[in-house]
Structure 1
C-alpha cells in the first residue's frame, strides 16, 4: 500500500514528537492513544524527531504501523544535535527505508522530511541517497542555511527571545512574529512551517550531563499565538511539542508511555492536555480558512493554568542547580532561579470558550476577582495568590461551571526545586487524572535534597467531593 499524497493547496498541522524518550514502548499499540488523540484534534501528522539511538528503528516501525492503523500520517525529523551534516548517506538511507510505508506523509507527490537544525547539510546528496525526490522542509535558519535547495522551512523559535536563545532582555526582543517575517522573506514564496508552542521551561542541574536552566516568556503564549496563526494562515504549522517533557512544552498526556530524562521533578502533577482542548476550535477554524475561531466553539469550557509557586519563592538552599560543577559548554546552564524568570507574570491565566457572555469569578488564594466574560474565545489573567484556586462561571442567577483545582499554589519549594512549569486544568472536568507512569518517574529523586511525594493529585481527588473538584483534562 503506497503512501497517500497530499494536494498542494492543503493546509496541514504537524506536532513534534520525541522518539528519543519512548524506548520503553513494546508494540504499535503503545502509540495508538497518541495517534487517536492527535487525529481527533485535527493534527494531520507527527514529526518524528530522531537521533542515532539503537532503538530508533524499532520505535519508528511501531509508530508507522500505529499511524497507518489510526488514519494518521508521520514523517522523519532528523535531530542535528545527534546527526551531523556530513551524514548525508545515512540520512538518505533512513528516508528511503520509510518512504514507501502507508503512513508516510507525502506532499506534492514528494516524501516529506524535516529536521531540528541542520544548516549546511548537502540536500542534493540526501536526495541522491534517498533514491527519490523529497519535500525537504528543515529547520534551516535565515542567513545561515541555503534556502535555494529546500522546498520549505521550519521555524523552531516559537517563543519571544533575545536573538540568542534566551528570554528577551532590554533592547533585545525578537518576537515570534518577527521570526515569521524573517522566514517568509527567506523562503521567497516557498511554504513556511510556522511554530506554535504553549510554554518553555527547563531546569536540569548537574545531576545530568545536559544541564540547562532557563525559561522563555510563556504566560498567554498559547492563546496569543493561535490568534496570530489565524491571521497568518501559513500552509503548514508545527506544534512544539507533543511530548518534550524536559522543556515543559508538551501538550500530550503525562501518561503517554515514556522514559524519564530527569524532568519528572517538574513534570509530575503538572498535566497540560487541557491545552489540547483550547486549541480544538482554533484548529477547526484554520482548516476552514476562517479568521476567527469563535464560531467553532462546540462545548463551553474554561481552560486555566498557572505556575505552582510565585517567582519570589527562594529555593536556593535545596535546588538541584546549586550543586556541583555542571557542564556548561552549551551556555544554557544557570544556577538557581531559571534565567528569564522575570519575564513570567505571577498570574493565573484563564481562557473561556463560551457561546454567550457570562460572569467569571476567580479566587486565587485570598485574592478574588470577578470578570465579565465575552462570547467566543477570550483570555484573562488575575493576580496569583497562595492557596486554593477556585473558578465559578455564572449567567444571571445560574451557575454554569464551578470547581476547585486539585493543584494549590504554594509558597514553598515543591520537591525542593524551582518549578516554572505550568499546571493546566479544564472546567468542566470529565476525565480521569493524567499522571506519570512508573517509567516516567524513574529518576524523580535524582539530585533532590528533600522528599518528593509522587502523583499527589490522585490522593487529593480521592478526598474531594465530586461537585467541588477540578482536574487536569485528559
Structure 2
C-alpha cells in the first residue's frame, strides 16, 4: 500500500525489499492512489530495487483514482511509460504487468469498461502490457472483458462467509478466464475497526482453522492452474492483513495494530512459497514453532466507542500453532490450565487450544528428554478483560 509509505525513503524501501526477498517473495504489487506524492514513493521503490532480482509492478487503486474521462487515463499511461523498460519492472508472459484494485466501472470516456481500459492502457504505442486486474464482477462475464490478460481474485484470500477456505471462487475465476492467467490471493487475517465518523469499516473475515496454511495448501494443490499467487498484504495495517514490519504511516489503525507484529508469519510463508514454486515441500532444516491468535475472547463486552465488528460470531478463541520438525518430538501447547500434549512426527503439524482464563501461551518441544524449542513470547498473553474490541492477531515464531 503505497498510501501507507508517506515518510518512506529509499533506505526504507531497501529494508522491505531485502526482508521480502529473504522469505521467497519475488515482487511487490505497488497499490497506488490519486495523490501526486505517491509517484515519488514509487520512484524510490524502483531506485531501491535496482541491482537486485526483486521486481515491482503497479496496481492501480481505482477506488481512489478517477476514471470517467479520457484525461483520467493520462496518469495511468505515465506509470506505464516511466517504468516500461526498467530492469526491475515485473514482467509476465514477456510483458510488463499492470494490475488494479477494482475498476470494473471505469469508462475513461468510452461506451464500455472494456473499451475504456483498452484505450487507457493497451494503446500506448509500442508498449503492450499484461493486464491482470481485480474487477469485482461475475466471473461468467469475463468473456466481455477482452482487455484482460487474466484476473486477480482479491476476495479469494478469505472465506466470504462462516466456513473454512475452499477453492470454489478460484474455480469460478479459472473457468471464466478460459485459459487466461489466474492470480489467486493468499491472506492470513482480516479485521478492520473504523467507526462511522471515519472510514465506517468494521468487520472481520473468518481467518480461523490455520487459515493461512489452508489457503496456501489449496493453491499448492492447484498450482498448475494458478499462474501467480499474490499475498494480501505487506503493509495494509487498517485491515490487519499485513505481514511486513509496522512502519511508515498507519491509516489511524494504531488502536488495533500497535503491539500486534505479524512478521512471525514470514518464515512460514517461505515454507509454502517454496512448495508453490517447485511443487515440492522443502526439507525442514530446523525445528520451528509458529503461534497466532486473538488476545481477547470474542464474546466479552469492552469499553470501545466503535462496536464489535460485524461477523464477530464467526471466529473462535483458539490459539493456533504450526510446528515444523526435523524429526519426531514431544510437544506441549499450554495456556493456563488448558494444555495439549502430543508426540508429532517429522514435517508440518497443526495444533490448537481454547484458553479459558487469562494466561501466557507457551509451546515447548522435547526430543529425547531435552528441550529443543521453548517458545513463550511475552506479548502472547490471552486476557479475559479486553481494553477494546481488538480482533487482530498476535503472531510469533520461535
Q: Same fold (TM over 0.5)?
A: yes
State the partner residue of 1:235.
227
Tell me whether 1:214 sits opposite 2:203 in the alignment.
yes
Tell me whether 1:93 sits opposite 2:78 in the alignment.
yes
Shift of 1:289: 2.4
Shift of 1:309: 0.4
Q: For 2:321 and 2:200, how far apart are their aligned partners in 1?
A: 32
User: Which secondary structure does the structure 2 equivalent of 1:296 belong to?
Assistant: coil
Shift of 1:180: 0.5
Aligned pair partner of 2:153 in 152, 155, 158: 155
State the partner residue of 2:134.
139
| Contact 1:89–1:125 (8 Å) recurs in 2 | no
Q: For 1:91 and 1:128, how far apart are their aligned partners in 2?
A: 11
User: Which secondary structure does the structure 2 equivalent of 1:405 belong to?
Assistant: coil
Q: For 2:60 and 2:203, how far apart are their aligned partners in 1?
A: 24
State the partner residue of 1:409.
382
Q: For 1:179 and 1:84, how far apart are their aligned partners in 2?
A: 29
Aligned pair partner of 1:63 in 27, 45, 57: 45
Matches within 5 A, 1:375-386: 375-385=346-356, 386=358
Gaps of 5+ in 1: 1-17, 322-335, 428-474
Shift of 1:341: 1.1
Tell me whether 1:123 sits opposite 2:105 in the alignment.
no
| Contact 1:136–1:150 (8 Å) recurs in 2 | yes
Q: For 2:375 and 2:122, how far apart are their aligned partners in 1?
A: 59
User: Which secondary structure does the structure 1 equivalent of 2:146 belong to?
Assistant: helix
State the partner residue of 1:449.
none
Shift of 1:71: 2.6
Question: Which stretch of structure 1 is more off in the superposition, 122-131 or 231-240?
Answer: 122-131
State the partner residue of 1:278.
268
| Contact 1:88–1:129 (8 Å) recurs in 2 | no
Shift of 1:174: 9.3
| Contact 2:296–2:386 (8 Å) recurs in 1 | yes
Shift of 1:152: 1.1
Matches within 5 A, 1:385-464: 385=356, 386-407=358-379, 408-414=381-387, 417-427=388-398
| Contact 2:206–2:315 (8 Å) recurs in 1 | yes
Tell me whether 1:76 sits opposite 2:76 in the alignment.
no
Shift of 1:124: 1.5
Note closer, same or farther for the CA distance 1:343–1:68 as it changes in structure 2 (3 Å cut). Answer: same
| Contact 1:147–1:186 (8 Å) recurs in 2 | no
Shift of 1:239: 0.4
Q: For 2:150 and 2:395, how far apart are their aligned partners in 1?
A: 33
State the partner residue of 1:346.
317
User: Which secondary structure does the structure 1 equivalent of 2:234 belong to?
Assistant: coil
State the partner residue of 1:20.
3
Matches within 5 A, 1:288-367: 288-290=278-280, 293=281, 295-315=282-302, 318-321=303-306, 336-367=307-338
Q: For 1:275 and 1:175, how far apart are their aligned partners in 2?
A: 18
Shift of 1:232: 0.9
Moved over 6 A (4+): none
Q: For 1:159 and 1:314, how far apart are their aligned partners in 2?
A: 29
Deviations 1:323-354 (A, max 9, x none): xxxxxxxxxxxxx1111111111111000111
State the partner residue of 1:193.
183
User: Which secondary structure does the structure 2 equivalent of 1:265 belong to?
Assistant: helix
RMSD: 1.8
Q: For 1:23 and 1:176, how far apart are their aligned partners in 2?
A: 37
State the partner residue of 1:452.
none
| Contact 2:158–2:187 (8 Å) recurs in 1 | no
Q: For 1:175 and 1:306, how far apart are their aligned partners in 2?
A: 17
Q: For 1:176 and 1:49, how far apart are their aligned partners in 2?
A: 26
Tell me whether 1:37 sits opposite 2:19 in the alignment.
yes
Note closer, same or farther for the CA distance 1:160–1:244 as it changes in structure 2 (3 Å cut). Answer: closer
Note closer, same or farther for the CA distance 1:198–1:363 as it changes in structure 2 (3 Å cut). Answer: same
State the partner residue of 2:108.
none
Identify the structure with bigger relative contact order (alpha carbons < 8 Å, sequence gap 6+).
1
Tell me whether 1:265 sits opposite 2:255 in the alignment.
yes
| Contact 1:119–1:144 (8 Å) recurs in 2 | no
Aligned length: 377
Gaps of 5+ in 2: 106-112
Question: Which stretch of structure 1 is more off in the superposition, 124-133 or 45-54?
Answer: 124-133
Deviations 1:60-98 (A, max 9, x none): 110111112333100000011112443333322322122
Q: For 2:128 and 2:89, how far apart are their aligned partners in 1?
A: 14
